[in-house]
Chain A
Amino acid sequence: MLDTILVVVEQREGKLNRVSWETITAGQTIAAATGWTLEAAVVGGSAAPFAAEVAAKKVAKVYAVESPKLEPYTPDAFTVALKQFLAAKQPKLVLMPHTYQVRDFAPKLATAMGRTVISDCIGFKHENGKLVFTRQMFQGKLAADVSFTSDAPWFATFQNGSFRGDKAEAGAGAAPIETVAVEIADGVIRNKPQEVFKEAKQAVDLTQAEIIVAVGRGIKEQKNIEIAKQLADALGGDLAASRPICDSGWLPMDRQIGSSGQTVAPKLYLALGISGAIQHIVGMKGSKTIIAVNKDSEAPIFEIADYAIVGNLFDIVPPLTEEVKKAKAGS
């Protein structure tokens, strides 16, 4: 039997999570490198409609893993269902997007099967028949190539944006779909989830902003945020922040850029005093132009910056604001 790569796509609130297409691209890329077969699975109360969407992509087969007990999502139900399915299917490699939901059950599923997850990967290498997964460590300062030393199934999750969803190849025709009913006994599910909700008012939709000036810990004190606000105003842009700034209450949560906040891709992103921790980068790495100001020349933000200014933002920003104002007044 040929080795199989199984992509477990994510559906939530009646929709396929778009990041799943990135995982399909990852699966297709690894399949091309290894020669393994690529299949996909959707898990849920009623997975068949989503399976049809996935079947349009170039995959050998799509499984709709179903049980009414899989709706709403709970880690207990997903672990039991997938363990049953994977024990029967025996794929070599299971791929998932590194979403908050996957983080919630993937390590539990792997442990239940005596296996392991290499999580938050940004790529892979296939050298001399050996597959290794690349991931960031120490908040992006270093990269690691990690291999599995366990038996299959191997589990790996990919970071948002590490593969392009729009590069997922379409299939020549629709892939066959197989519905798999899974058994989830009474008493398995211990958590009772309530409705998902968005917290209060979302005053500003940063996803629509063309220019964003974001502050990180380098801003040091709440009162210094005014310096960044002046620049944002001068540029006609929006003020945003990395998580620690919002945690401290210096800016409201709806200004947060990152995995827990908003994901943005503006024309211009100015990162002031932001080190470039992974959780922040995933929320802005798609920006067209990134300008970073940080006094640490080793800050990971500089790896993705188009323009780098190594210096003290308190020296750099006020003169910049003045020049911007002058330029706008002049034109």
Chain B
Amino acid sequence: MPVLKILVCMKQVPQKDAPLKLNESGTWIREDVSYEVNEPDAYALEEALRQREKHKGEVVVITSGPARAQQVLREALAKGADRAIHLEDDKFVGLDAFNTAKAFAAAIKDESFDLIFTGLQSDDYGYAQTGVILGELLGLPHATIIMHIEKTDSGIRVKRELEAGYFQFVDMPTPAVLTIQSGINKLRYATLIGIKQAKNKPLRKVALAEVQSALGDNLQKIERLYVPQKTKKTEHIEGSAGEIAKKLVDKLRNELRVL
């Protein structure tokens, strides 16, 4: 039976509730925050692990970023991924999605995967592009915002999520690139044994120099990053819980007239 090879592209992003501060030039955040795995990518990894459980195969995880990004790969290996690839350099943080996808494509050029997963978007940039760009660079068919994957005789059948509660099944050949929607499955926790085993799993480092020739200049640039200007006038309601309750009810009744 053919072995299913799945690549999961993962990203390390600032923790959800991390207080963010702007750097001096106002073009990025200060990096002294806590980081975590981009949550949509955790769903992509979980889906890869489940597909491997069903069909036998290999799950490889890849990320690009500074040394700290290795944590995302270690966690993935602890959860059950077979090996990891780390494009390690501080400069990877500044690449746009186009170049990030090019870097990934260069790093995996000697491998052939049946499926490539990414989370549907990152929680820091929120572009939802890297997976789609990677598919185009590799000449592979793709589908986005996927909620279900099934193997078929001719490839795979995926369930695409659309707006407002609509869905669509799509039959596709493999190899293919899929961006995975959160809620496709329930995330597993790494076990203690998994964490121990992760230490011995292969982690290949790829230096920026190795992929530099595949990259180009960024095609877009963050001119400035800033705290959003509020356009809405927000009234803060303060006091004890009891006082807040009374004040709110007063507004609901007399101003908003919903009571």
- Residue numbers in B under 8 Å from A67 (CB-CB): none
Q: Is the CB of B222 within 8 A of A196?
A: no
- Residue numbers in B under 8 Å from A253 (CB-CB): 165
Q: Is the CB of B17 within 8 A of A296?
A: yes
Chain B, interface residues (CB within 8 Å), range: 35 or more
9-residue interface stretch from B57-65, B188-196, B247-255: B247-255
Provide the main secondary structure of the chain B interface. Answer: mixed
Q: Mark A288-331, 1 if CB is under 8 A from B, else 0.
A: 01010000101000111111111100011001101110111001
CA distance A115 to B97 in the complex (A): 11
- Tell me which of A107, A137, A291, A306 has the highest count of chain B C-beta atoms within 10 A of its own C-beta: A107
* B109 contacts the other chain (CB 8 A): no
CA distance A116 to B96 in the complex (A): 9
Q: Is the CB of A193 within 8 A of B124?
A: no
| Selected contact of A149 from candidates B135, B168, B218, CB within 8 Å | B218
* B54 contacts the other chain (CB 8 A): no
Q: Mark B152-171, 1 if CB is under 8 A from A, else 0.
A: 00000000111111111111
| Selected contact of B136 from candidates A111, A137, A138, A260, CB within 8 Å | A111
| Selected contact of B256 from candidates A76, A192, A268, CB within 8 Å | A268
Q: Is the CB of A247 within 8 A of B182?
A: yes
* A190 contacts the other chain (CB 8 A): yes
* B144 contacts the other chain (CB 8 A): yes
CA distance A285 to B172 in the complex (A): 36
Q: Is the CB of B222 within 8 A of A278?
A: no
List the A residue with the shortest CB-CB distance to B27: A144
* A15 contacts the other chain (CB 8 A): no
* A104 contacts the other chain (CB 8 A): yes
CA distance A267 to B129 in the complex (A): 35
Instruction: Given A142-B226, A148-B219, A243-B182, decide whether A100 and B125 contact each other with a Cβ distance below 8 A.
Output: no
- Residue numbers in B under 8 Å from A139 (CB-CB): 16, 123, 126
Q: Is the CB of B169 within 8 A of A194?
A: yes
- Residue numbers in B under 8 Å from A211 (CB-CB): 258
Q: Is the CB of A119 within 8 A of B219?
A: no
9-residue interface stretch from A55-63, A88-96, A197-205: A197-205
A residues contacting the other copy or chain, number (CB 8 A): 93
- Tell me which of B186, B229, B248 has the highest count of chain A C-beta atoms within 10 A of its own C-beta: B248
9-residue interface stretch from B4-12, B70-78, B204-212, B236-244: B236-244
* B98 contacts the other chain (CB 8 A): yes
* A117 contacts the other chain (CB 8 A): yes
* A69 contacts the other chain (CB 8 A): no
Q: Is the CB of A118 within 8 A of B29?
A: no
| Selected contact of A307 from candidates B170, B227, B237, B245, CB within 8 Å | B237
- Residue numbers in B under 8 Å from A120 (CB-CB): 126-128
- Residue numbers in A under 8 Å from B253 (CB-CB): 327, 331
- Residue numbers in B under 8 Å from A327 (CB-CB): 249, 252-253, 259
Q: Is the CB of B173 within 8 A of A100?
A: no
Q: Is the CB of A136 within 8 A of B237?
A: no
Given contacts A107-B127, A248-B186, 15 further A-B contacts (CB under 8 A): A100-B161, A105-B132, A108-B136, A116-B98, A137-B225, A145-B224, A148-B220, A190-B172, A235-B258, A267-B256, A303-B230, A316-B244, A319-B242, A320-B244, A327-B253
Interface residues of B (CB under 8 A from A): 14, 16-17, 19-20, 22, 29, 96-98, 101, 123-129, 132-133, 135-137, 141-145, 160-173, 181-183, 186, 217-230, 232-237, 241-242, 244-246, 248-249, 251-253, 256, 258-259
Interface residues of A (CB under 8 A from B): 75-76, 79, 99-101, 103-105, 107-108, 110-112, 115-120, 132, 135-150, 190-199, 202, 210-211, 235, 243-244, 246-248, 253-254, 256, 259-263, 267-268, 275, 278, 289, 291, 296, 298, 302-311, 315-316, 319-320, 322-324, 326-328, 331
Sample (20) of A-B pairs whose CB atoms are under 8 Å apart: A100-B162, A108-B142, A111-B132, A119-B129, A135-B126, A137-B225, A138-B20, A138-B29, A142-B225, A143-B225, A146-B221, A192-B171, A194-B171, A198-B166, A210-B258, A243-B182, A303-B234, A305-B232, A324-B249, A331-B259
